[in-house]
Structure 1
Amino acid sequence: MSIDTISKPLLHNTLIALCVVFMASVFSYLVLRSHLLIGIGTIASAATLLLFIFALVIYALPSHNHRRFGAANVVTAIRAAIVSLVGATVLFAGERLVLEPALPALIALAMSALALDCVDGYLARRFRLVSALGARFDMEVDALLILVLSITVLLLEKAGGWVLLIGLMRYGFVLAQYPFPWLRAPLDDCFRRKLICVVQVGALCIIMLPFITPPVSTAIAAVALLLLFYSFTVDVLHLLRHAGEAR
């Protein structure tokens, strides 16, 4: 299915929803500027990243088999806006992040994105607007948030470079689908996968707290990584088993 097959009502509804979220996000970025101690460059980067994410959403719109974009996807779009701001702030702060008084605000933003993660799924089920687009949109926002937080933990020197594996594992799984197409098979909805995702974000946010230092922060990160590795291993073995049965 190509993007040309998107119904006009759905495309129109989606564009309006994303435009409203984008404009509200940029306004919020400007309001939060003093709290996060960020410049116009950071705001522009966050807005650019958000535009890129929304462009990908529109490209994937054919997989949304409903006439409306839906409240659930709007919530996910808001989460994407939060993650974009956190990511841009971390990118521009760099190694200075350890000295940033705005760190508590970053943690609060990350936790708000995590809290909203519980809302979008509920809304999708409540209004019967569950779709492949919504599930993928939600998953990729989660993955981006975890990657950003992993980088933050590294910059704060709360764990070694291996902590980036927490953020990169999802993308490694996606890249592995090219040489191993059987990894592209759909996975059933799983509470274990959702729970471990929440644990990753929660653990990384805890590590970012100023009073959590090595070796405690290192231990928390290691446990989070082991749980994530376990979850991916279970999924890969499941897909491998089903690929073998299909032959």
Structure 2
Amino acid sequence: MTAASPTARRIFPLRPTDPPVRRLAVLAVVGLGVVAGLGGWLFASAGGAAVGVGVAVFAVGASVAAWRLHRLHPHARLGYANAVTLLRLTLVSTLVIPLVGVSPAPVAIIAVATISLSLDGVDGWLARRQGLSSAVGGSFDMEVDSVFALVLAALAVVVGGAPWIVLLLGLPRYLFGVAGVIWPWLHDPLPPRYSGKVVDVIQMITLIVLQLPGLPHPLAIALTLGVLGALAWSFGRDIVWLWRRRA
């Protein structure tokens, strides 16, 4: 039997025993330990049940990533980019622990969130540098970003006591997804926009700032409204662009 050609490798899904899937599985096992150990250390007051929820969130996210990798990954290597994105999923899952356990630990939350944000963009750079960019890797990164924003928004409200309007900062990606079910043309590819990335970074920085204890509610509301306006402009521009080119 001859070895599969490069073309066949691109067309057919990877087997679970192929190197990229195996490597992601090994990294995921390590990630489970990191979520349990780091979360139990930083957010000990949250309790064991909350740690278990954080571990479960990571397990679900890593399983979905492995399934999509198995079906859609076009390369024979996993690449550092996917490993970094998995690390970010580890950190985001750790932040679920103080949310579920309602554990006020602003310094730890801000530290973990800042590390996660600092890694955002590293995965894309690594993928391009290694020549391993893919739609499934970009989707993995985007979904981790979406969960990250939602968890930070919920932490600010539930644990930090911020106004409920802050929750809206964690919902744009999901609202856009729901709208895409109604209007499928919203799922069409978009051109890369540097301004959109800037708005995303401002959104995440604001969500981290909102974790600060004692932040006055008027200031929190003003920051939230400002970022919501920037998000509305960014998403609105994309929607108009897609609408004009819909089939």
The TM tier, using the shorter chain, reads 0.7 to 0.9
Q: Cα deviation per residue 1:144-175 (whole Å; 9 max; x = unaligned)? A: 0101111122222322x232222111111111
8 A contact 2:109–2:211 mirrored in 1: no
- Alpha-carbon contact 1:26-1:43 (below 8 Å) kept: no
The answer to which of 142-151 and 29-38 deviates more is 29-38
Structure 1 residue 18 displacement after superposition: 3.4
Check whether the contact 2:166–2:224 (CA below 8 A) recurs between aligned residues.
yes
> Aligned partners of 2:180 and 2:35: how far apart in 1?
37
Give the structure 1 partner of residue 59 of structure 2. 51
CA distance in structure 2 between the aligned counterparts of 1:73 and 1:206, rounded to whole angstroms? 28
Q: State the identity %.
A: 31
1:17 pairs with one of 14, 24, 41? 24
Given that 1:183 and 1:236 are in contact with CA atoms closer than 8 Å, whether structure 2 keeps it comes out as yes
The change in CA–CA distance for 1:10 and 1:66 in structure 2 (over 3 A counts) is: farther
User: Which residue in the other structure is 2:6 paired with?
Assistant: none
Is 2:180 the counterpart of 1:177?
A: yes
Q: What TM-score, normalized to structure 2?
A: 0.87
Change (3 A) 1:78 1:190: same
Q: Which runs of 5+ in 2 are unaligned?
A: 1-10
Correspondence for 2:107: 104
CA contact (8 A) 2:50 2:98 kept: yes
Task: Identify which of 28, 36, 47 aligns with 2:43.
Answer: 36
Matched, 1:71 2:80: yes
Per-residue deviation, residues 65-94 of structure 1 (Å, max 9, x unmatched):
11111100100000001101102321221x
8 Å contact kept, 1:18–1:77: no
C-alpha displacement of 1:228: 1.0
Retained in 2: the 8 A contact 1:158–1:207?
yes
**1:167 matched to 2:170:** yes
Alignment of 1:122-141 (within 5 A): 122-141=125-144
2:96 corresponding residue in structure 1: 87
C-alpha deviation, 1:24, in angstroms: 4.0
After superposing the two structures, state which structure 1 stretch, 73-82 or 22-31, moved more.
Answer: 22-31
Distance 1:28 1:54, change over 3 A: closer
Tell me which stretches of 4 or more aligned residues in structure 1 moved more than 4 Å: none
Q: Is 1:198 aligned to residue 207 of structure 2? A: no
Structure 1 unmatched ranges of 5 or more: none
TM-score normalized with structure 1 length: 0.87
CA distance in 1 between counterparts of 2:72 and 2:42 reads 38
AA paired with 1:147?
L
Alignment-derived partner of residue 142 in structure 1: 145
Aligned AA (1:56):
V
Q: Which residue of 1 aligns with 2:224?
A: 221
- Alignment check: 8 A CA contact 1:163 1:221 kept: yes
Q: How many residues align?
A: 234
The SS at the match of 1:215 is helix
Q: Distance in 2 between matches of 1:174 and 1:11?
A: 32
